[in-house]
A and B are shown apart, each in its own frame.
Chain A
Amino acid sequence: MGTMRRLNLGAVLGLTGLLAACDRGANSDAPAAASQVTVSQTSSVTTTTSSTTVQTATTQTTTVAATASAAPLGSGLLGSGAPVAVVPGTALVVWTATEPPLESEMIGLGQVEKWLTSADQKVTLREAVPEERAFIELVAVAPDSEIALPPTLGASEMVVVVALEPPRGKPPNRLSGGRSRLLVWHPPAQVPALSVVYDAGGAGPLGAQDLAKWLKRHLTLAKEEQK
Chain B
Amino acid sequence: MSARSRSMLGFGALLGLAVLAVGTSSRAGDRPIQVVVSNMTPDAASSDASKRCVQTLRERMTQDHADLYPIGETPLRKLVGHPDKSESFLVWTKDELVRVLDAAKAPDLPPALQQRDAFVAIDCRPEEKKLDVLFLNSARQRGALRVRSLPLERSRVLWVGDELMHQLWTGFSP
Contacts and interface: CB of A to CB of B under 8 A. Distances in A.
Given A221-B155, A224-B155, A201 B139 contact: yes
Contact of A193 (B90, B139, B147, B167): B147
Given A201-B139, A210-B167, A196 B159 contact: no
Nearest to B146: A195
B147 A194 contact: yes
A193 B150 contact: yes
B143 interface: yes
Given A217-B163, A224-B155, A194 B146 contact: yes
Contacts of A197: 143-145
B27 interface: no
Contacts of A144: 90
A144 to B, nearest CB: 8
Contact of A202 (B141, B146, B147, B148): B141
A115 interface: no
A6 to B, nearest CB: 20
A181 to B, nearest CB: 9
Size bin of chain B's contact surface: 20 to 34
Interface string A175-208: 0000000000010010111111111111000000
Contact of B141 (A191, A199, A213, A217): A199
A201 B147 contact: no
Nearest to A143: B146
A29 interface: no
A199 B170 CA distance: 13
Contact of A196 (B144, B149, B151, B166): B144
Contacts of B167: 198, 210
Contacts of A195: 144-148
Interface in B120-143: 139-143
Given A214-B163, A217-B159, A221-B159, A199 B94 contact: yes
B156 interface: yes
A74 B3 CA distance: 66
A199 B142 contact: yes
A193 B149 contact: yes
A179 to B, nearest CB: 9
A141 B144 CA distance: 15
Given A210-B167, A213-B163, A217-B163, A200 B150 contact: no
B94 A200 contact: yes
Contacts of A201: 139, 141
Interface centre among B139, B146, B149, B151 (most CB of A within 10 A): B146
Nearest to B93: A199
A221 B158 CA distance: 11
Nearest to B129: A193
Given A201-B141, A221-B155, A224-B155, A186 B163 contact: no
B110 to A, nearest CB: 30
The 6 closest A-B pairs by CB, nearest first: A195-B146, A199-B142, A201-B141, A197-B144, A198-B143, A191-B148
12 contacts: A186-B149, A186-B150, A194-B150, A195-B146, A196-B144, A197-B145, A198-B167, A199-B143, A201-B139, A202-B141, A202-B143, A217-B163
Interface of B: 90, 94, 139-151, 155-156, 159, 163, 166-167
